[in-house]
Amino acid sequence: EINDHTENYSDEDEHDDIVDDFIKRLDDSLADVDLDDDETQQFLTSHEQSASPPSSSFCNYLKIAGKTIFIGALAVISFLAFLGSPVFLVNKRGAMLEFSGLSWQAANNLGDVTDDMNEADTALYWHIPKAGGSSMKAYYSCMGLVEATSGSEQRGHNHDESLKVWRNGAHNYINVDTTRKDGILRAKSLGLAESNLADLVTTMFPGAAVDIFTPEHKGRPFVLFRHPVDRAVSSFYYRQIATWEKGKGVYDPSLANIEIDAWFEQQAKSNENGGYMVSLLLNKSRTDPLTNDDMILAKRILREKFLVGLMTEMEESVDRFDTYFGWYENEKRQECYEDFIRQGRNRNPHTKVEEGSDTWNVAVEANAFDVELYEYAVQLFEEQENFIF
């Protein structure tokens, strides 16, 4: 066909235009060709037997096409290599989402935030320390929700061989503690998601907790964010007095002997990656270096999967959570809301660090990745009001 169209053209520019147009039409045609189709094979065989020697113009085209195909092949090979190295999620819109450090199965275990809740889905609360978590957990416990949380394995229930709901006073627990990584493994092995016994699963490790769920019984994550500098300042003072905390390294009275700006400077110079929250989200160690690609991934996960709340908008955030998960009409909500959301729980008054001060700026440097994630969460909070509520 290209011979027929070009043999009568002596003008080089016009000839090139014809060739370019042909290549475009050829690309469009080849996109739909099935080389294994019987009719295609018959066509190719008959034309191969009757083909005449190609003209010089056709040879020139072959050179052009050869280069195009070569470049295209390299692109395909590179893409396949890239696709094979990390793990991706394909969401309902056909968009690919890379989940570095998470299995393909786990990546698909979280529902899209814009999807309607399914009866088989379970709410997953990412508890970020010193970001309103104590108030949130007390609030939902007050409402009588069945929770998988830090108190779930008390009174010997860590030795139960099957799942069961048990009561501790007014609190309803299911007997797995998903705030610990070994508890997450136990919850998975006992089939927590498939049981549909829990109203709420709470964890500090969202990147690990996704493995509790399945594509048929998805987790529906939500989170309450606090500015990383404010959160770090609160943690600094809290750890000086928190004798009741059992977690390793939480209570640290030696911090009382350090000035907070010196503490932030130590953090900035340490081998920590400046992304505590980002690391938890991606299921990475705090000492693993974080990259811009990690940051892009963390934002994508947050946007696609999480219902986002802010401590600065606590009441509005909780209203959104309760509306989204169907808890707004809970008969105990108003009383619990007043006690634990408006009044709060586990508050620790301390000296504030002024935004823009030298100490604040050092803290921002020490928590650079988390600050970027928080700023993105603020943006998402505004956007979700429009397309979810």
For residue 296, the domain's CATH number is 3.40.50.300
Domain presence at residue 82: no
Over 88-118, what HEC string results? EEECCCCCEEECCCCCHHHHCCECCCCCCCC
Does residue 67 belong to any structural domain of this protein?
Answer: no
- Tell me the helices (H) and strands (E) count for the chain, helix number first: 17, 9
pLDDT of residue 100: 46
Q: How far apart are alpha carbons 214 and 222 in whole angstroms?
A: 17
Is 96 inside any structural domain? no
User: Are the CB atoms for 186 and 161 separated by under 8 Å?
Assistant: no
Q: What pLDDT does residue 177 have?
A: 94
Instruction: Output the CA torsion 67→69→72→76 (10° steps).
Output: -140
Is 52 a domain residue? Answer: no
Residue 163 carries which DSSP code? -
Asked whether the beta carbons of 263 and 359 are under 8 A apart, the reply is: no
Query: Considering the domain boundaries, does residue 60 fall inside one?
Result: no
Q: What is the domain count for the chain?
A: 1
d(CA 83, CA 98): 9
Res 350: pLDDT: 76
Q: Which pLDDT does position 154 carry in this prediction?
A: 83
Q: State which amino acid sits at residue 60.
A: N
Tens-level pLDDT at each residue, the chain (389 residues): 455 544 444 455 555 666 566 566 656 655 555 656 666 566 555 544 544 454 555 555 545 555 555 555 555 444 444 443 344 444 444 444 444 444 455 568 999 999 999 999 999 999 999 899 989 999 999 999 999 998 888 888 888 999 999 998 888 999 999 999 999 999 999 999 999 999 999 999 999 999 999 999 999 999 999 999 999 898 888 888 888 887 777 888 888 888 888 888 888 888 888 899 999 999 999 899 999 999 999 999 999 999 999 999 999 999 999 999 999 999 999 999 999 998 876 666 778 888 989 889 989 998 999 999 999 999 999 999 987 77
- Beta strand 88-90 with 96-98 is antiparallel
In this predicted structure, what is the pLDDT of residue 25?
Answer: 63
- On whether the CB atoms of residues 225 and 317 are closer than 8 A, the answer is no
In single-letter form, the type of residue at position 22 comes to F
The answer to whether residue 85 is domain-embedded is no
- What pLDDT is attached to residue 17? 62
Q: What is the mean pLDDT of the chain?
A: 81
Domain assignment present for residue 262? The answer is yes
CB neighbour class for 352 (10 Å; exposed up to 12, middle 13-18, buried from 19): exposed
Residue 281 confidence (pLDDT): 94
Which residues, in sequence order, are bridge partners of residue 78?
A: none
Beta strands in 149-284 (DSSP E): 165-168, 171-174, 200-203, 219-225
Q: Is 242 exposed, middle or buried (0-12, 13-18, 19+ CB in 10 A)?
A: middle
- Helix 358-366 / helix 228-241 crossing angle, nearest 10 deg: 90
With CA atoms as reference, report the closest residue to 223 among 332, 337, 86, 324: 324
Locate all alpha helices (DSSP H) within 85-197, ordered by sequence. 104-107, 133-142, 181-189, 192-195
- Domain of residue 260 covers 104-388
Place of tokens 């969401």: 91
Within-domain flag for 209: yes
- Cα distance between residue 363 and residue 264, in whole Å: 5
